Amino acid sequence: MNWSAVPKLTCRSSKFLKQQKADLEELWRQGHNWALEELQQVRQADRVRSHLAYERFKAKRAPELLRAKWREAKAAQRAIAAAARAEAEERRRRDEELAAKSAALAAEVERERKAREPIAESGDAIELEIVRVPPNPRMVMCRYRVVSGERQCLVRVGRNRNFRRGMKVLVKRPANGMEAQPWMYDGVLPRCPGHW
């Protein structure tokens, strides 16, 4: 159908056109032939108006425009996803570096602690008797017997709360020359005061 050849009516509201159609149909049923001709014109104008609205809708929804919009949206989504991945990778790398640094620092501290408190490699253990529990919460004063008599030493126990006078502990003898330093106790701490 040639839509440009159809007579153009002035744009009216759809409510007005419905009412006009109803009135013209009523007049045509009553026998007025001119009403049929006008009714056809109104219907034709309504079809033209809806066709033009459809054409406008199609023009807005042209495939090329939609594809361009979709491409832009997808590119934006890809850029956001890439930025999020890069940020997550950077955060993971930073966390790994911090973990490696802290592990290296802990290993260094452990090495320093072991260097300060060298223990004999022979592994000879000596039995010590607790003489006194000093105010320092991590030490106990002990005595042990050697060929020349009795000697006293400080032993680092971690927590001296349950240690009592007269208890016996088994400790590795420090390496030669380090007996003046506090000895290290690596055994189990007493669970109750004075009892293992």
DSSP labels, 94-134? HHHHHHHHHHHHHHHHHHHHHHHS-B-TT--EEEEEEEE--
In a domain, 88, yes or no: no
Find all residues with CB under 8 Å of 152, minimum gap 6, and list them. Answer: 131, 141, 142, 143
Q: Is the pLDDT of residue 111 over 60?
A: yes
Q: Is the pLDDT of residue 43 over 60?
A: yes
In a domain, 65, yes or no: no
In a domain, 165, yes or no: yes
In a domain, 153, yes or no: yes
Taking residues 14-27, what's their average pLDDT?
80
Q: How far is CA 12 from the centre of its chain?
A: 59
**What proportion of the chain, given as a percentage, has pLDDT over 90?**
35
In a domain, 110, yes or no: no
Taking residues 187-192, what's their average pLDDT?
85
Q: Which residue's entry shows tokens 């045509």?
A: 28
Residue 118: per-residue pLDDT? 42
Q: Give me the half-sphere count of Cα atoms (radius 13 Å) on the Cβ side of residue 30.
A: 9
Residue 13: per-residue pLDDT? 67
Taking residues 56-61, what's their average pLDDT?
79
Domain range for residue 175? 125-184
Q: Is the pLDDT of residue 194 over 90?
A: no
Cα–Cα nearest to 12, from 48, 58, 60: 48
In total, how many domains does the chain have?
A: 2
What angle, rounded to 10 degrees, do the helices at 14-29 and 33-60 form? 150
Could you tell me the pLDDT band of residue 178, with boundaries at 50, 70 and 90? Answer: confident
Could you tell me the pLDDT band of residue 33, with boundaries at 50, 70 and 90? Answer: confident
**Can you tell me the distance from the alpha carbon of 75 to that of 144, in angstroms, rounded to the nearest whole number?**
79
> In the structure encoding, which two tokens stand for residue 34, read together?
């001119």
Residue 177: per-residue pLDDT? 67
Q: Is the pLDDT of residue 120 over 50?
A: no
In a domain, 180, yes or no: yes
Q: How high does pLDDT run on average in the chain?
A: 83
In a domain, 85, yes or no: no
Residue 167: per-residue pLDDT? 92
More confidently predicted of 174 and 177: 174
| 62 phi, psi to nearest 5 deg | -60, 140
Q: Is the pLDDT of residue 146 over 80?
A: yes
In a domain, 80, yes or no: no
